Amino acid sequence: MAKQDDSALSRRQFVGGLGVGLAAMAAAPALAQGTENVPENAKKAAPAALEDPRAKYPKPPFHGQSQPWPGLAGKMDPKPDHGEQSYKGSGRLAGRKALITGGDSGMGRAAAIAYAREGADVAINYLPDEEPDAQEVISLIKAEGRIGLALPGDLRDEAFCNALVANAVKGLGGLDIVVNNAARQQTRASILDVSTEDFDATMKTNIYAPFWILKAALPHLKPGSVIIGTASEQAYDPSADLYDYAQTKAATMNYVKSLAKQLASRGIRVNGVAPGPIWTPLQVSGGATQEKLKSFGGQTPLGRPGQPAELASIYVQLADAGASYATGQIYGSAGGSGQP
């Protein structure tokens, strides 16, 4: 009997042990799902902390400050954030070749930094007076191992615009992204204060230059290329003291929509970005009165102006092939205001 009992006990132990083993095996895949099938970099990444958009960047009141046109971002207080430290790329624009006007500061600079970190080679245009800002951008582009071309010059000259495109194509080895971002903005309380010279300078910079640049660029743009124009909330809700500038931004919105229809048959996408109040040298170099500057952006629902870095991802998205169905669109970013 003792033998039989021992044998029975042995069998019970075996069956019991087998049951536990099978249960463990069944449970193992479920337990492993949290670690074995997760990419190594995801295992190590800590959850990103939530950020309150109201408190992410400086808000008014700002102190008065003024610079001669066109102004330098490096001399602003506080300095704008273009994503110099924060923007992280993931190869979304690998091998692309971009020309950005006004690439020394503001949204153009934010786009240039982001494009380089996404794998693109970038040429930037700017006025000679903006050389200090421009050289910072070129250094940041080259730090990513990308080609960075500095192409200074005045966009109000048609011959220069033609040369700009030719030099960008030569220096980059092609062209497939064109960002018309450069703009002139000068506040005037009355239309009577806008001289013909002022009006002409704004129209040439904001309307003629994109026209000349796009005509020169189109022969180089293949299917899959993109054009991006920087419009503004001023296109939809113009300020009383930006009579000429606001007109040009409405024109930008319209050329984006018109050209998108015209170039769709060639596989070229055209979109626009319409920022709200953004902290750039435009504001401190005659684009806003000192009174308006001190409260700049305070009227938005978020209670502050935007920073160029906050629009970088929009310029990347519009240039990315992943946005292949987006053309003729205007993307707004205005802190809760604006109408796009």
H or E element that contains 332: strand 330-333
Beta strand 148-152 pairing with 121-126: parallel
Q: What is the domain-level CATH number for residue 325?
A: 3.40.50.720
In a domain, 199, yes or no: yes
103, 80, 88: which is closest to 168 by C-alpha? 103
Q: Is residue 32 part of a domain?
A: no
Q: Which of 115, 126, 243, 245 is catalytic?
A: 245
Do the domain assignments include residue 149?
Answer: yes
User: Closest by alpha carbon to 153, among 130, 180, 126, 133?
Assistant: 126
Cβ neighbours of 285 (radius 10 Å) = 22
Reported as a single tens digit per residue, the pLDDT across 299-324 is 999 999 999 999 999 999 999 999 99
**pLDDT for 39:** 55
Q: What is the pLDDT of residue 58?
A: 97
pLDDT category of residue 328 using cuts at 50, 70 and 90: very high
- Average pLDDT over the chain, rounded to an integer: 90
45 pLDDT higher than 80: no
pLDDT at 43: 58
What's the structural domain count of the chain?
Answer: 1
Contact 122, 109 (CB under 8 A): no
Question: Does the residue 41 lie in any domain?
Answer: no
pLDDT at 323: 97
Q: How many whole angstroms separate alpha carbon 92 and alpha carbon 99?
A: 17
- In the residue annotation, 325 being an active-site residue is answered as no
Does 201 have pLDDT greater than 70? yes
- Model confidence at 37: pLDDT above 70: no
Full residue range of the structural domain in which residue 287 is found: 91-333
289 within domain boundaries: yes
Show the beta-strand stretches assigned E in the chain: 97-101, 121-126, 148-152, 177-180, 226-230, 269-275, 330-333
Place of tokens 């910079």: 205
Q: Of 288, 338, 321, whose CA–CA distance to 76 is shortest?
A: 288
Predicted local confidence at residue 9, as pLDDT: 39
